[in-house]
Structure 1
Amino acid sequence: MSVLDKFMKGLTKTRKTLFHNIKTIFSGRTLDEDTLEELEEILIMSDMGVDVVEKILEELKDKYHNKITDQEDPLLILRDIMVSHLSTSPLILDTSNAPLVVLLVGVNGSGKTTTAAKLAKIYMNYGKDVVLAAADTFRAAAIEQLKEWGNRLNATVIAHQKGSDPAAVVFDAISHAKAKSKDVIIIDTAGRLHTKSNLMDELKKIKRVVQREIEGAPQEILLVLDGTTGQNGIIQAKAFKEAIDITGVAITKLDGTAKGGIAFAINHELNIPIKLVGLGEKEDDLQIFDPVKYCNALLGIEE
């Protein structure tokens, strides 16, 4: 299955529930107020966020005001405008200054542990040796889940007992990675409610340990957000952003929602690039974010 096919499949609910009417809207070449209202409703219902939708529609009206030619496809014009409102930054893959450290943060239930494992698979596909650190020591289930993933992927998992010091797990993972010349360390962290200040203190402590042991690390601090929570996820994200420097966002479970436009709102509200999207439950359904493929999948545009 191609990357576009994965995006198409993962965003099926959003496309079929909300965006399926857009091609009909553009069947005529005029953009009257009724058409704009219909389009606005579709975009807002997808959880894009009102501000982003208004900007997209303004640009679309400008294009129509300046007259589109018969050779131009209105749907592609909309796609290009949408893409321009998504800032992205490539996931760091360079391990020339190994080990590369990726720290995953977010609330419980967002899919952090699964994302850690699937991200390990991405790096392994690039030929990297990966160490997984089970630093969510508050939940025995998270430790066991990561161990199971490690067995499935044939990746090393460094874990302690439930209730142990998360920073100690991270220290041991770093020591192992250095001793075995591993390329990447992926750290799964606890995700108690974002209102608990002690969680944020723990994340800062983990970050300090990483910084002390590896110069320039962590190179990636990825906030894992459940795409099905919609605007509530942005409230969570703001709390994490205040506590720790986020380099990017991984949006999970987009296949389980009809509001897959949330990437726009996250981008706009937080000014943090989307780096990864979860498009299904299989181990290769976590994909590096591609704005063009994402928008094509929403609009049903085949490349």
Structure 2
Amino acid sequence: MKLAVDGMGGDNAPQAIVEGVMQALEDFTDIEILLYGRQEAMTPYLKEHPRLTVIHCEEVVEADDDPARAVRRKKDSSMARMLEAVADGTADACLSAGNTGALMAGGLFKVGRIEGVGRPALATTLPTIDGKGFLMLDLGANADAKPENLLQYAIMGDIYAKKVRGYAAPRVGLLNIGTEEKKGNELTKASFDLLKEANMNFEGNVEARELLNGVADVVVTDGFTGNMVLKTIEGTAGTLFAMLKGAFTSSTKAKIGAVLAKNGLKDLKTKMDYTEYGGAALFGLKAPVIKAHGSSNARAIYSAIKQARTMVEHDVCATIQATITVE
């Protein structure tokens, strides 16, 4: 399979991107990678490889570019040409750590939406205490949603959890302010009724405080709420680790305690490490489009490539298309 990668997207590009690509090529012998970006910027980190093709692009979509305008006007950017490779069938999937809005707009306009999907959703795997993680969507592709959109999010999430994450019957939950069936606003109440009748393992309403305890394998919500929950989790995790670091360096006794707790802290950090889960997939498009975290290091890029590879291998987009059509 061929995967297209934006070599210039993200805070640590191009070094982290190229290093992640090179590692993925070594570990996955069934992939070819088309790497788009400025040749002179990527060359210091590149190694020759028979399954790597580097395509020079003059332009770069910057983090502060207007999304729609960037996609339209920067036609020779690494992101635009990467998306075009998927659109014309040159590549089977693509990924970028660059401008999220531009990638979503470009994915929608260039790759195209699956027929029958009302609105695409941004989905990613978030950590849980047991280390298994859970898939959450929508994380911001659409601020507003209708009950039928949340039903489709659940269907797409259910398929991904089965195909990519290996669950036979993933537990699907609806994010709400309480677990009772009649809780919530008009959107969640109507969505509950649709999900209850759907052909999936619907667990009912789930509360935000239980997410990291692994209360469900797939959690659906509107993009406005999902984005706030995502950023709250990221901010809380960062603050917690900063507080722990401060506590363990506050005195000689604390430093001794830190040495004794080193393995436990390392295990905790691994469980909360986003680099192991890949990127956020834009569900509802005709081919996999993966958004890696803007601060991705080489390991995170490697994981995002692994995620794209698995989605292609298990034909996730075609399964979504067939299932949505039947529904």
TM-score, normalised to structure 2, is 0.33
TM-score, normalised to structure 1, is 0.35
